[in-house]
Amino acid sequence: MLKSFARTFSSTIAKRDFARTQLLGRVGFVEFKESPNGTRYVMYSLAVNKKFDGKEETDWYKIFILGEEQVAAAERALRVGNKMFVDAKLTVKVVDDVSRYSLVQKKMDIIQWGKKSEDEHGESEHAENETQEK
């Protein structure tokens, strides 16, 4: 027997607000770093191209990867030239009346692999699509 499904709407307030952004672009540079207290993290740039009035423009976004599991996944899969879909948390800090934005990656999907660098040619091939979540 078929059941009737009714979509319910809630009038309650969300328990928590959040800021999130999604980007689709190509990796420009990748830096694997370590904080003064020994925590490993990754900083990379993502180029997002857009056309406006027939001209192509590129916006560059600096993205951070935190957490041991995500950093380990980035070491295996993140390379210059990868076309990626990135889901990131957006944070804003104001210092001396200047707003500073930062993006912390929550999830990445590799859409297309970039070319291997000279030191990667000996490694085994990655799967066509790798998804990594926090």
The DSSP result for 2-39, as a single string, is: PPP-------SPPS----EEEEEEEEEEEEEEE-TTS-
Could you say which residues of the chain have pLDDT below 50?
A: 121-134
- Give the model confidence (pLDDT) of 27-41 as tens digits: 999 999 999 999 999
Give me the residue label for tokens 């180029």: 47
Calpha distance 108→78 (Å, rounded): 10
Beta-carbon contacts of residue 66 (< 8 Å; ≥ 6 apart):
39, 41, 104, 105
d(CA 134, CA 86): 12
The CATH class of the 20-115 domain is mainly beta
Tens-place pLDDT, residues 6-15: 556 566 666 7
Q: To the nearest whole number, what is the mean pLDDT of the chain? A: 83
Q: Where are the domains of the chain?
A: 20-115
CA quadruple 48, 53, 54, 56: dihedral, nearest 10: -20
CA dihedral 20, 21, 27, 31 (to 10 degrees): -30
- Note the pLDDT of residue 124: 40
